[in-house]
């Protein structure tokens, strides 16, 4: 039989039981069966990066020793890790922390290596564009890149935040179809974010053809499962829904490993989440109603011709504060003077902020809109509370923050007791930030993808957290924020049934979600 494989002691002393399970799972799929890849779908904060580093270390060490059980293609010792650019420094830091550089040089040799590259850069290089994405590669450069990236390509491909490959028609997804290696690992804390078709894309990446063509999958699984998920579904729809779920679980059980946040919860302080529903004051309600009626009647609100979903940004700004809506039109975000108390969300936020300072806590404030962050920053700058006097209490990170400056900001916030608030753009800061010094998280507005909110919460609720964590979701009743919240609850329910194998409550009928 095959000889036992051991994790070296300098890694083994830090690895947790669920991580040992994850490493064994990847070894089974990549080495023992070697027919396909796998999806490591551990929830956020369970150490997926560390597990990959362990499997890479052990795999390359066994190649160096000449273990005959290792498939031949791994002997090239080339590892490609695809990731969002914001995670590159995290990966570099983790690799440098856990893998000795002397071992890395000795084991990888002259022709192997670990390449960290962003999805967009990989896409550009694979189709013959330069690293700038603007000029074509020469024929020699194209041949070289395609040899190392695609054919024969790397020995192992790891796709971090693998739900990036969720649109089968995107250029990134099309580029990943050209990999020759079958050894692929997809890392995601949220394998099913919006719908089952996106889940199919990730499964097809690690195990091509397993679920058939997308059109067939939709007919065989997507429609029956979704039709049986409502409180008013017919009995026949519910029976078919259960049957299809069982079959799908059976197909995926060998190469999709899911572990829920309960693993994390056993080792961390408690986490409590609150939905704070705010009633729009008269000015906000009047403005919101006028914009909505104008769009529904004429279809020519401020984003003319782009439809109601595009105008969701405008409605969101109104729900946060009417002055934010005005600022978004004038686009003068940096010269702001706070106006009035017509935005109840801001009133609630300021009450929580003042209590946060008094309690000596730290708070992360996430918003999907730059104007909202601008307005909150203006309030913090001009705050007259005694607890704010003559002290810089906040920091900010958004898409304009230089990549090189982001980690220093994180480190300063975690170490400086005088910094209580971190204003963060949801699109920029929901990934790659380790902020366990904060124990309060405020979500100013929700988007259509519920995983963004969960990723934001995971910035604080992770290993290293020592205090109970409180999460506040601010929403306004009777607005499209209500609809977004209901749809997100429905999407989370779908994910729990398909991925977590849970039988959760069916809350909303199909008509309520339209």
CATH number (domain holding residue 345):
3.40.50.300
Angle at 224 between CA 220 and CA 225, to 5 degrees: 110
Q: Is residue 508 part of a domain?
A: no
In tens, the pLDDT along 48-68 reads 999 999 999 999 889 888 898
If asked whether residues 194 and 272 sit together in one domain, one would say no
Are 205 and 341 contained in the same domain? no
Same domain, residue pair 140 and 275: no
Residues 344 and 473 in one domain: yes
Task: Provide the mean pLDDT of the chain.
Answer: 81
Same domain, 206 and 339: no
Number of compact structural domains in the chain = 2
Cis peptide before 152 (omega within 30 of 0): yes
Whether 418 is in a domain gets the answer yes
pLDDT given for residue 109 in this prediction? 53
- Can you give the pLDDT at residue 442? 95
- Domain annotation covers residue 317: no
- In this structure, what CATH number is given to the domain that contains residue 170? 3.40.50.10810
Query: Do 362 and 434 fall within a single domain?
Result: yes
d(CA 168, CA 495): 19
447 within domain boundaries: yes
- The 10s digit of each residue's pLDDT in 416-464 is 988 999 999 988 877 778 899 999 999 998 877 777 888 888 889 888 8
For residue 457, the enclosing domain spans 268-279+335-478
Strand order in the sheet with 394-397: 271-278, 469-476, 440-443, 363-367, 421-425, 394-397
Please indicate, yes or no, whether residues 345 and 420 belong to a single structural domain of this protein: yes
Rounded to 10 degrees, what is the CA torsion of 91, 264, 359, 415? -20
Residues 200 and 347 grouped into a single domain: no
| Whether residues 54 and 155 fall in one domain | yes
3-state SS track over 410-434: HHHHHHCCCCCEEEEEHHHHCCCCC
- On whether residue 289 sits in a domain, the answer given is no
Question: Are residues 22 and 91 located together in one domain of the fold?
Answer: yes
Categorize the per-residue pLDDT at 125 as very low, low, confident or very high, splitting at 50, 70 and 90.
Answer: confident
User: What's the token pair of residue 514?
Assistant: 């339209």
Q: Would you say residue 123 lies in a domain? A: yes
Q: In this structure, are strands 421-425 and 363-367 parallel, antiparallel, or unpaired?
A: parallel
Integer Cα distance of 164 and 18 in angstroms: 25
Tell me the per-residue pLDDT of 13-27, one tens digit each, with 9 for 90 and over: 999 999 999 999 999
pTM: predicted TM-score of the whole model, two decimal places:
0.80
Residues 273 and 206 in one domain: no
Cα(470)–Cα(274) distance, rounded to whole angstroms? 8
Our CA dihedral for 358, 362, 367, 370, rounded to 10 degrees, sits at 90
122 and 202 assigned to the same domain: yes
Q: Which of 170, 208, 169, 171 is nearest to 186 (CA)?
A: 208
The CA distance from 140 to 26, in Å, is 35
Whether 225 is in a domain gets the answer: no
């Amino acid at each position: 039989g095959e000889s036992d494989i051991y994790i070296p002691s300098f890694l083994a002393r830090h690895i947790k039981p669920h991580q040992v399970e994850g490493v064994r799972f990847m070894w089974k799929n990549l080495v023992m069966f070697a027919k396909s890849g796998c999806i490591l779908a551990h929830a956020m904060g369970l150490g997926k990066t560390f597990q990959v580093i362990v499997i890479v270390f052990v795999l390359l060490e066994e190649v160096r020793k000449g273990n005959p059980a290792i498939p031949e293609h791994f002997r090239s010792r080339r590892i490609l890790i695809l990731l969002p650019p914001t995670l590159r420094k995290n990966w570099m830091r983790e690799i440098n922390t856990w893998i000795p550089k002397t071992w890395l040089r000795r084991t990888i040799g002259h022709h192997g290596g670990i390449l960290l590259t962003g999805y967009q850069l990989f896409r550009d290089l694979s189709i013959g564009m330069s690293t700038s994405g603007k000029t074509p590669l020469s024929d020699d450069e194209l041949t070289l890149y395609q040899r190392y990236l695609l054919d024969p390509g790397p020995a192992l491909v790891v796709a971090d935040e693998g739900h990036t490959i969720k649109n089968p028609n995107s250029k990134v997804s099309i580029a990943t179809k050209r990999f020759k290696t079958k050894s692929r690992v997809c890392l995601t804390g949220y394998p099913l974010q919006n719908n089952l078709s996106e889940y199919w894309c990730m499964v097809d990446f690690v195990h091509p053809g397993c679920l058939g063509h997308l059109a067939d999958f939709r007919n065989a699984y997507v429609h029956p499962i979704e039709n049986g998920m409502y409180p008013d579904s017919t009995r026949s729809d519910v029976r078919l829904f259960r049957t299809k779920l069982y079959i799908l679980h059976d197909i995926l059980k060998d190469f999709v490993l899911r572990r829920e946040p309960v693993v994390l919860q056993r080792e961390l302080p408690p986490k409590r989440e609150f939905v704070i529903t705010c009633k729009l004051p008269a000015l906000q309600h009047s403005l919101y109603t006028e914009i909505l009626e104008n769009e529904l009647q004429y279809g020519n609100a401020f984003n003319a011709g782009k439809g109601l979903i595009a105008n969701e940004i405008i409605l969101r700004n109104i729900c946060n504060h009417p002055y934010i809506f005005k600022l978004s039109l004038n686009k003068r975000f940096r010269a702001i003077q706070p106006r009035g108390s017509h935005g109840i969300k801001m009133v609630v936020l300021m009450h929580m902020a003042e209590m946060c300072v008094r309690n000596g806590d730290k708070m992360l404030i996430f918003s999907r809109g730059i104007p909202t962050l601008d307005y909150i920053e203006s309030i913090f700058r001009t705050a007259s509370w005694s607890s704010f006097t003559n002290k810089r209490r906040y920091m900010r990170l958004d898409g304009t923050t230089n990549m090189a400056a982001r980690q220093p900001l994180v480190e300063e916030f975690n170490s400086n007791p005088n910094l209580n608030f971190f204003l963060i753009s949801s699109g920029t800061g929901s990934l790659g930030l380790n902020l366990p010094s904060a124990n309060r998280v405020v979500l100013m507005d929700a988007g259509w993808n519920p995983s963004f909110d969960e990723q934001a919460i995971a910035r604080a609720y992770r290993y290293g957290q020592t205090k109970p964590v409180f999460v506040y979701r601010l929403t306004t009743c009777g607005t499209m924020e209500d609809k977004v919240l209901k749809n997100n609850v429905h999407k989370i329910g779908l994910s729990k049934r398909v991925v977590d194998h849970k039988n959760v409550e069916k809350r909303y009928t199909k008509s309520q979600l339209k």
